[in-house]
Structure 1
């Protein structure tokens, strides 16, 4: 196995990147999860890149790439395009190295990400309404000014920097059998998988690697099945940090040779995973960083042995978090929305409230209206948002209402 040859950075180059990256990036914690271990049936550890400086692993690849620039290149500055984590990683790395940085971000980017990028010292330019449009503007800026374009994933130096996560995993969990990694363009998973595969060629201990994409933006899932790099039409997803339409060229070549499987998860499952991380692990994880947890919760992956899930980032907009928590509660059937038609006479709301109190369901919100669609003039509609303890409790609540003569229309 020692003659393994892969595209992209060598193991020595990843190890050299680690020495550089260590100047700015933390060795992030590895936390065990009893809850996920019970779901999976084997030990589970969480690699907490959500606790990394700038809130994600991106600082590793960005800093490693910038350290490789010549003095002449540094004098012209760097430029990048991103809606979040890559922007912050490049801005931070450029500040540390004294390099002028210009970051193109789409109009409408989340305010916390915009502010953080500016606070790291970058000149932020809002351009276009998508990351693709911002990327085109950044490339044009590079062509006209001589600034060095820093790609988010498709470059050997970037891949080597992200591969340092793999080296840390091997040191922190020596008996690891499987690593689960989110995939966007493929920078993180190609770096980790390359580091693991090349180390295995020396030690003989092979580690399985599973990638996870959002179902609405999963070009790697398609590409791996076809065996060729395939573009797709990405749809909206809460996991915007990994929402890409095509794999990176070099990244796909590495992933094709080193990754065992790519699975997909939906937004509801990802929202539930964020909620699980908040409640069970006390960790704030963005949607893109939680897809690996979602894959375990939905049993997309099985028989993995000792498992490490990479939590790739924690930069979630507070407003988005509020929405995601509500979605996660609904996905776990702990938040029940229902509409009930009632006769328009006194005491009906009190009667329904009494039934819910008797079964220990907590009413969060109530809307009482005479203007619902299809209501008779003698009817009203009660719209209720109720907090429950899970599927069994939901069934109990609904059955008690039905036993009392009501016909709740449920919207989870």
Structure 2
């Protein structure tokens, strides 16, 4: 059983230096990286929002500074704040198709404010926003970081980039309607320039539309849209600048060329095959597969204004994506939790955990995909995804054992971000 000597010393030093501390206690704690639950955790979070000490076990509790803020969560299981690797906070699925044209451009930033709050309250304390217009996700991140509005930690991609007529272009209008396309290029050199521009204005990850998609009106969902030379130029430029690359890819050829080019995550990966799995393992890439969406799109899409062409594509590809998820997991492909929030209502992110378990993962594996594995894929292993010293005090608590019932994560009883209470049973 672990001893408390170092923890007591950390607490004494914090008190003697005048550092304010928040002390969180609970009945149990899940360590997703190790896949174990420990009893009686005591987590000390400093005034910078980071964990300074973590101890657990049944030994006597350490002395806690008199001026420390105490949060006793009671008979719950706590775990690190959750990470969603694929969201669109500035999107509203109930305004699909042409309905969004009724609103001004800046309306979507306001949508993002509401969605950021819902997402945080759902226990997702970090998200990767992989595509928004007008640098809305950077504005949202800045507002959250400055304390103007509540929300998760955001890793923004700004615009998702693609080719003329592709999934990330505006293909639903006639030639007489001109739409700005600052995210479109058609050769390797221009794509390099786009990467530099997006980084200049706040992108921390690059999102690329490699194949057709479900919600774009006119393309084939699986057709490759960038050449190998184009995606290789994007990856090389982004990696040189210290950025990672997420590639939207449903079709097999596009997935495999993207993996050969060295992309870091493949989004959707619906038609990946055995060669894709081999390439992903060889290159160390992760799959981020939004396998809950099919339920929502087919149930609510027509009412929400989703194009008939898009509904047909979803019917074509939805189950196949789930089967690919099962096969990729069985083949040992690294997986992260990514929901495509914004295609369904943001804030319902945790509904995907049950789908991941239904299609082959254990609950611990699904949770790990949204914590320690996601942190590795984000290149953020030093601050999110775990509850160890140096990491942010981002905490989710559920009333029960999520390794037995992963659906408990759909209804967290407590959420803390950086040691600050976001939601609690009393709120």
- Structure holding more helix per residue: 1
Greater gyration radius: 1
* TM-score between both structures, scaled by the size of structure 1: 0.27
Pick 1 or 2: higher relative contact order, CA cutoff 8 A, min separation 6: 2
* TM-score between both structures, scaled by the size of structure 2: 0.26
